[in-house]
Amino acid sequence: MRKYDIYGVGAALVDTEIEVSDAFLVEANIDKGVMTLVDDARQAELISSLSTESSSMLRKCGGSVCNSVVAASRLGAQVFFSGKVADDDDGQLFIDDLNEAGVDFHSAGQEAGITGKCLVMVTDDAERTMSTFLGASEDLSPREIDQVALVDSEWLYVEGYLVTDEARTAATQAAVELAKANDVKVAISLSDPFVVAVFGNALRQVISDGVDLIFCNKDEAMAFTGTENLESASEELKQYTKTFAITDGANGAITFDGTSLNQSKGVETVAIDTNGAGDMFAGAFLLAITLDKSFVWASSLANDCAARVVGQFGPRLEAEEYDSIKAKFDL
Q: Is residue 21 part of a domain?
A: no
225 is a domain residue? yes
Residue 94 has pLDDT above 70, yes or no: yes
Contacts made by residues 92-96, CB under 8 angstroms, sequence distance 24+: 93/14, 93/59, 93/61, 94/12, 94/13, 94/14, 94/61, 95/61
Q: What is d(CA 249, CA 274) in angstroms, rounded to the nearest whole number?
A: 9
- The DSSP element (H or E) to which 68 belongs, if any, is helix 64-74
Q: Is the pTM of this model over 0.75?
A: yes
pLDDT tens figures, 264-282: 998 988 878 777 899 999 9
Tell me what the mean pLDDT of segment 47-52 comes to. 77
Based on the number of CB atoms within 10 Å of its own CB, is 55 exposed (0-12), middle (13-18) or buried (19 or more)?
Answer: exposed
**Residue 20 included in any domain:** no
pLDDT of residue 56: 64
Q: How many other C-beta atoms can be found within 10 angstroms of the C-beta atom of residue 176?
A: 21
CA triple 195-263-213, angle to 5 deg? 45
In a domain, 224, yes or no: yes
For residue 318, the model assigns a pLDDT of: 85
Residues in the chain: 331
DSSP codes joined into one string, 142-183: GGG--HHHHHTEEEEEEEGGGGSSHHHHHHHHHHHHHHHHTT
pLDDT score recorded for residue 112: 82
Q: What is the DSSP-derived secondary structure letter of residue 266?
A: P
Q: Which residue has the higher pLDDT, 295 or 28?
A: 295
CB atoms within 10 A of CB 229: 10
Question: Which residue range(s) make up the domain with 145?
Answer: 4-11+64-112+138-329
Q: What is the mean pLDDT of the chain?
A: 92
pLDDT of 19 reads 86
pLDDT of residue 319: 84
CA angle, 12 then 15 then 19, to 5° = 160
Burial code of 108-130, b = ≥16 C-beta within 10 A, e = fewer?
eebeebbbbbbbbbbbeebbbbb
Q: Count up the domains in the chain and report the number.
A: 1
pLDDT(107) > 70 = no
Question: Residue 201 CB: number of other CB atoms within 10 A?
Answer: 9
Residue 221's CATH number: 3.40.1190.20
- What whole-number percentage of the chain has pLDDT above 90? 71
- pLDDT at position 236: 97
∠ at Cα 309 (303, 310), nearest 5°?
85
Residues 143-166 pLDDT 10s? 899 999 999 999 999 999 999 888
Can you tell me the distance from the alpha carbon of 231 to that of 275, in angstroms, rounded to the nearest whole number?
A: 26
Does residue 129 lie within any of the structural domains?
no
122 occurs within a structural domain: no
Angle at 239 between CA 236 and CA 243, to 5 degrees: 90
Strands (E), the chain: 4-9, 13-19, 35-37, 57-62, 79-82, 104-106, 116-122, 128-133, 153-159, 185-189, 211-217, 241-247, 253-256, 261-264
Window from 145-154, 161-170, 171-180, 202-211 with minimum mean pLDDT: 161-170
Residue 47 lies in a domain: no
Residue 242: partners with Cβ closer than 8 Å, 6 or more residues away: 210, 211, 212, 213, 258
pLDDT of residue 151: 98
Asked whether residue 71 is domain-assigned, the answer is: yes
